[in-house]
Amino acid sequence: MLREIDKHWDKLKKISRLGDNDLLESQRLVYKNINFIDEEQIPKAFRLRAFDLVKNIDLNDIVFVALNEYQASILWTGDKALIRGLRSIGYDKVITTDEMVKLRNRQEKNN
């Protein structure tokens, strides 16, 4: 995740309309609420499963899918190719930001 943030830093600045210092502060606030896991801590079985899932989509996403499987969670991503590819093979443990917002709005409406 740390590499992904760095890779998309300019895009984050543009979307957030924050300067480097403010974006760094936001990053610090977010990071203090995240428990980072070294990808080597993900058992091999989950990495192999992830390889099978993404081998025809994008091998760079193995670790994200492996962690998702290991944590038995839902992968929140903006990677449209990954989402389409995974869903096309029946993998539904992914959610887009738009879907996340709609889900939040429905929950707020029901409360």
Q: Report yes or no on 51 lying in a domain.
A: no
Q: Report yes or no on 28 lying in a domain.
A: yes
Q: Report yes or no on 92 lying in a domain.
A: no
Number of domain units in the chain:
1
Q: Report yes or no on 62 lying in a domain.
A: no
- Residue by residue, DSSP assigns 25-86 as HHHHHHHTT-----GGGS-HHHHHHHHHHHTTT-GGGHHHHHHHHHHT--EE---HHHHHHH
Sign, CA torsion 19/25/29/34: positive
Q: Report yes or no on 2 lying in a domain.
A: yes
Question: Could you list the pLDDT tens digit for every one of the 111 residues in the chain?
Answer: 667 778 889 988 888 889 999 999 988 998 888 888 889 999 999 999 999 999 999 999 999 999 999 999 999 998 999 999 999 999 999 999 889 888 888 888 887
Q: What residue numbers bound the domain in which 22 lies? A: 1-36
